[in-house]
Structure 1
Amino acid sequence: MSGTAENTGARAIPGLIATCWTSAGDVAPMRADERSPVPLAERIAAVARTGWAGIGLVHADLVEARDTIGYAELSRMIREAGIGIVEVEFLDNWWTTGAERAAADVVRADLFEAATALGAHHIKAGAGLAEEPLPLAHLADAFRDVADEAAASGILLALEATPFSHLRTTREAVEVVTKSDSPSAGLLIDVWHTYKGRLANDDVWNVVPMERVTAVEINDGTAGIRDTVAGMVDDSSNHRKYCGEGAFDTADFVRRTLDAGYRGAWGVEIISAEHRGRPMAEGLRRAYDTAVSCFPSSHQAG
């Protein structure tokens, strides 16, 4: 993945992606309606104005755009705003069967269509919600199939472990991805999920093969680790913090990731009641400025 840097004084600013929830306003994952209340033109303009190199869009917003202005117009709006990186989400339920799989396949087709039309770098993927995780062998077989399908369409996948899903830990996501020889089978490494999955910053890049990394995300959060799926989902959706304002030592995570050789763009994923309560443009500026502050002044993004 290619990133860009802008020199500002002694600091080289990396390419930062305003992931979908960071720019969506008062909306959150798993609400009945995940569409942003902010008009797309306003949202895109605000992302560009506050310095971001990329924008993320969720399935509900993509389908609405397709059915109203069309993907060609959406692509034009993004590119003319000077935004060079697009990511789409969220690919889920790829391991299921029956009616659940039929519904998941509709979403998958929508996301593949959007990613192709918008020239997206990758599609973010997850592993649902689970009180009792499925066997890794089953998940690995299913992910191999969806990765092969993505490869046939020239699409990269970025699979993330979440501590409330079938893939509880980064180690498990690595195992699932590395069992596929598809060039589209990649990893998304998010500091929120590594921290809450009890993987220390100094261990992340001993566990994760850099050649399999499609995307990296940063944010910050609380020190506590909840012991229920519902508690973890609440923490993830409502209590994340801006980079450098929580317990994660996000600057240390960034430094170690750079030292490990990562040279791509960085997603900034702020999902919290605090962030949703701010005016959208104000939240974008705060998310951007706090993320930039976590990068060493000597950083040169590749």
Structure 2
Amino acid sequence: MKTQNIELLAAYWTIAGDIYPMGPTEVSPYSFEDRMEAAGNAGFKGIGLVHNGMMDTVDKIGYPAMKAILEKNGIKHVELEFLVDWYHTGERRRQSDKVRQELLEAAKALGARSIKIGPGIGEDTADIDLMVKEFTLLSQQAAEVGANVVLEIMPFSNVRTIETALAVVEGANQPNGGLLLDIWHLQRGGIDFNDITKIPARFIKSIELNDAHKYAIEPLWMDTIHKRVLPGDGTFDIPAFIKAVQAAGYEGPWGLEVLSDTHRKLPLELMANRAYETTISQFGK
């Protein structure tokens, strides 16, 4: 396949620097302007922003300046993350609703493509009826600001199979509601890439690429936040995943989410350039 029509999106952690999810801080040591410039110069057409880091930037420079920086650097796809507890109640829901409102406001201000949401991490079973109801509501709220809602399949959660994920998004049946397929979560979760064809194209809303070593460290959560490597540096069959996603009808930008305890320590420009070059090289194989 020719690569000139492939647009890559650098998920937040890919070029955020020496930080990680739920670490001492989720705020990048690099400024928003420097990160967007590095991403644009490397060739990325999209970027991911995580809630805590994004709100820090909003406080410092505001949405209009952020929007101008994105446009200056040719960044046209923006994905926001990460909403959890969106179907729970009580204090967990109260905290979730605050994040929800801020993500929706950001989506409107920045013209975001998608809002990434998590399943029940650490939960064994999914209350499908409840999740369908709440996913429907969230999707309708996101539609008002022009954004998709993308539910991520995760092996250490209550949405760890394609069947469960489809039960939620098909049950809700919202035009802007769908799934995020991350190769790490599918591979580590034992999902055959051929099973991606079970997903109707309209429900595949976002994709994330990365790679990892043959054997995961335990617990699996530590593997996902510290040991993901650049495409081609691990053992995943990335071309097979790409072909399966394309065969299923996906035509959007391709995200790259690397959470590596070595990659994150590289200088910003080197992080961005390596990330782009290794990923784009996976297409056409």
TM-score range, shorter chain: over 0.9
Task: Give the count of matched residue pairs.
Answer: 285
C-alpha distance after superposition, 1:231-277 (max 9, x if no partner): 11111001111112222110111122223322111001111112112
Q: Which residue of 1 aligns with 2:231?
A: 243
C-alpha distance after superposition, 1:105-158 (max 9, x if no partner): 000000000011000111111114214334333322222222222223332111
Q: Which residue of 2 aligns with 1:222?
A: 213
Q: Which residue of 1 aligns with 2:37?
A: 45
In structure 2, the CA distance between the partners of 1:287 and 1:134, relative to structure 1 (3 Å rule), is same
Return 5+ residue gaps in structure 1 as ranges: 1-6, 298-302
> What is the aligned counterpart of 1:109 among 98, 101, 108?
101
1:225 deviates by 5.4
1:194 deviates by 1.0
Structure 1 stretch displaced more, 115-124 or 147-156: 147-156
Q: Which residue of 2 aligns with 1:86?
A: 78
Partner SS, residue 214 of structure 1: strand
Distance in structure 1 (CA, Å) of the matches to 2:242 and 2:272: 20
Q: Which residue of 1 aligns with 2:23?
A: 31
Q: Which residue of 1 aligns with 2:157?
A: 165
TM-score (norm 1): 0.89
Asked if 1:144 is matched to 2:132, the reply is: no
Q: Which residue of 1 aligns with 2:267?
A: 279
- Contact 2:200-2:248 at 8 Å conserved across structures: no
Return 5+ residue gaps in structure 2 as ranges: none
Q: Which residue of 1 aligns with 2:111?
A: 119
Partner SS, residue 14 of structure 1: coil
Structure 1 stretch displaced more, 77-86 or 131-140: 131-140
In structure 2, the CA distance between the partners of 1:170 and 1:279, relative to structure 1 (3 Å rule), is farther
Question: Percent identity over the alignment?
Answer: 36
Q: Which residue of 2 aligns with 1:268?
A: 256
In structure 2, the CA distance between the partners of 1:134 and 1:255, relative to structure 1 (3 Å rule), is closer
1:32 deviates by 3.8
Distance in structure 2 (CA, Å) of the matches to 1:13 and 1:242: 21
Distance in structure 2 (CA, Å) of the matches to 1:212 and 1:170: 11
TM-score (norm 2): 0.94
Q: Which residue of 2 aligns with 1:254?
A: 242
Q: Which residue of 2 aligns with 1:212?
A: 203
